[in-house]
Amino acid sequence: MRTHSSLCVLALVLGASGCTVGPDYERPKIDSPSSFRFAQKDASDLANSAWWEQFQDPVLNQLISVALQENKDVKIAAARVDAFRGQFETTRSQLFPQVGANGSAERERVSQVGPTPLNGEGPVFKQYQANLSVSWELDLFGKLRRQTESARASLLASEEGRRGAILSLVSSVASSYINLRDLDRQLAITNATVASRGEAVKVFTQRFAGGVVSQMELAQSQSEYEAALALAPQIQAQIGQQENALSVLLGRNPGPILRGRELSDLKPVAVPMGLPSELLTRRPDLAEAEQNLVAANALIGAAKAQYFPTISLTGLLGSLSAQSSDLFTGPARAWSYAGTIGLPIFTAGGIGGQVKQAEAQQQEALLQYQKAIQVAFQETEDALIGLQKSREQLLTQGRQVDALRTYAHLSRLRFDGGYTSYIEVLDAERSLFNAELSYAQTQGVVYASLINLYKVMGGGWVVKADEMTAKAEPPKP
């Protein structure tokens, strides 16, 4: 610090405008892998495109547009940006001279038994005054510049936070819509099973009345029917709750949601590609963490600058008169100017404590930035392997459903031919029902994994989504 102080003093002697104490920001070295472990071969460079439009579902597109315009979290984030912008403008204004004006008119009566009035004309006198004042703190050691640097970084961090809110919103709306269509599909499977088993109960009731089947077989048929029937309200409750959650994301009260394509009719979405190092610029949360580090780094210099003198200039130009008609005449003119300098001599460790606090906050911000990067790598790897394995699971379950359909069909034929008991039919149909539900759930997981992958990889699509905020028209339920 002594060397830097000597350089600052030398700069002042040479007539320079001043210097800035404290460390300049340098991006920390990041130990990033050269590639992702589970990167997929069919990935495409789609990080800057509106990926949700690849589903080719106009309703989903419209829901996302409405959410971008009406969602309260996005509006809260935008208001937070405005607050930081105001803070930045306030801090930056201290770099420039502060100019003000004031005026006053006074009429006063003094005691006649007291001292003689100043104007010698009686107990009542008048005074008019108009002034133009200027004050300016010379930022010779960079305290105000460091504070402005910190405020600007905080503003940029808040803007990245807003972009992060947009990223999360688009992903949440898409995931919620996919989950809703998944539940719709599960309900359709359940309703079809309920109808099928209901018909079976009717047939078995007639056969039991005719003495063809036993009461045990009738009871088994009724049991399976009731089991499927009991599942329907559970799925319907989940659908209602999902609609309510999606409504809140759209910025409106809970209510029904318009549907578009069936889950199986959605067009496949390409897998985004990218390198680990690209996450540093693609993901808003990492950019936000870095700007918080920049802000904390600048405050170290602002704290250290308090060790050095503070120099301020003030000036006053105005006029003072007992008559308003004489206020702006030459004899009424008044002026003053002054310079002040302040230098801390003994603060009992007050400034040193502020410097230590700023340095500790900078270290905290650095560690938060490094942790955010590691978490970003982890989330991306998790999303890649999740998508890969859920696709493999879907293929396996698809083959299982086909096999169980064949099994159920053949067992029904064997039962009708009298070659097997109804227990085999129930087992086959129960297994098929469960497999169809699992297949529908895994379909939703595949789409959700793909959406999550776009979210964790970030990209320029956030900017495109931001541009869509003024183009939305609410869909009618």
Considering the domain architecture, whether residues 337 and 221 belong to the same structural domain is answered as: no
| Selected residue with higher pLDDT from 340 and 12 | 340
Considering the domain architecture, whether residues 291 and 319 belong to the same structural domain is answered as: no
- 176, two tokens: 């919620």
Considering the domain architecture, whether residues 49 and 103 belong to the same structural domain is answered as: no
DSSP 8-state code for residue 206 = H
Considering the domain architecture, whether residues 193 and 262 belong to the same structural domain is answered as: yes
Output the CA torsion sign for 35, 40, 45, 47. Answer: negative
**CA-CA distance, 207 to 214, in Å (whole number)?**
9
Considering the domain architecture, whether residues 232 and 375 belong to the same structural domain is answered as: yes
For residue 385, which phi and psi values (nearest 5 degrees)?
-70, -35
Tens-digit pLDDT profile for residues 377-404: 999 999 999 999 999 999 999 999 999 9
Q: What is the mean pLDDT of the chain?
A: 86
Residue 78 confidence (pLDDT) above 60: yes
- 185, two tokens: 């599909």
Using the structure block, give the residue that is written with the tokens 């996919």: 178
In a domain, 415, yes or no: yes
**CA-CA distance, 313 to 338, in Å (whole number)?**
6
Considering the domain architecture, whether residues 279 and 291 belong to the same structural domain is answered as: yes
Using the structure block, give the residue that is written with the tokens 């409504």: 247
**CA-CA distance, 173 to 75, in Å (whole number)?**
16
Answer with the one of 291, 320, 342 that is the final residue of a domain: 342
Answer with the one of 321, 342, 363 that is the final residue of a domain: 342
Instruction: Give the mean pLDDT of 172-184.
Output: 96
**CA-CA distance, 61 to 386, in Å (whole number)?**
25
Considering the domain architecture, whether residues 50 and 179 belong to the same structural domain is answered as: yes
Look at residue 86 in the predicted model and tell me its pLDDT: 96
Indicate the length of the chain as a whole number.
Answer: 477
H helices within 71-214, ranges in order?
72-93, 143-209
Q: Which residue range forms the structural domain that includes residue 314?
A: 98-138+309-342
Answer with the one of 342, 367, 389 that is the final residue of a domain: 342
- 152, two tokens: 């600007």
Considering the domain architecture, whether residues 199 and 147 belong to the same structural domain is answered as: yes
Considering the domain architecture, whether residues 253 and 318 belong to the same structural domain is answered as: no
In a domain, 255, yes or no: yes
In a domain, 221, yes or no: yes
Tens-digit pLDDT profile for residues 416-456: 888 877 788 888 999 999 999 999 999 999 999 999 998 99
Burial 80-102 (b: 16+ CB within 10 A, else e): ebeebbebbeebbeeeeeeeeee
**CA-CA distance, 235 to 43, in Å (whole number)?**
35
In a domain, 7, yes or no: no
In a domain, 276, yes or no: yes
**CA-CA distance, 223 to 171, in Å (whole number)?**
41
| Selected residue with higher pLDDT from 273 and 411 | 411
In a domain, 283, yes or no: yes
Give the number of domains in the chain: 2
Considering the domain architecture, whether residues 280 and 334 belong to the same structural domain is answered as: no
Taking each helix axis from N to C terminus, what angle separates 72-93 and 143-209, rounded to the nearest 10 degrees? 180
Residue 84 confidence (pLDDT) above 70: yes
Considering the domain architecture, whether residues 313 and 461 belong to the same structural domain is answered as: no
CATH number at residue 40: 1.20.1600.10
In a domain, 475, yes or no: no
Considering the domain architecture, whether residues 88 and 113 belong to the same structural domain is answered as: no
Q: What distance separates the 2 farthest-apart alpha carbons in the chain?
A: 132
List the 124-138 sheet strands across, edge first: 98-109, 124-138, 310-321, 333-342
Residue 234 confidence (pLDDT) above 90: yes
DSSP SS3 for 383: helix
Q: What is the CA radius of gyration of the chain?
A: 37
pLDDT band at 33, cuts 50/70/90?
confident
Look at residue 179 in the predicted model and tell me its pLDDT: 96
In a domain, 11, yes or no: no
Of the candidates 234, 57, 238, 251, the one whose C-alpha atom is nearest the C-alpha of residue 172 is: 251
pLDDT band at 127, cuts 50/70/90?
confident
Burial of 230 (0-12, 13-18, 19+ CB in 10 A): exposed
CATH number at residue 115: 2.20.200.10
Look at residue 122 in the predicted model and tell me its pLDDT: 59
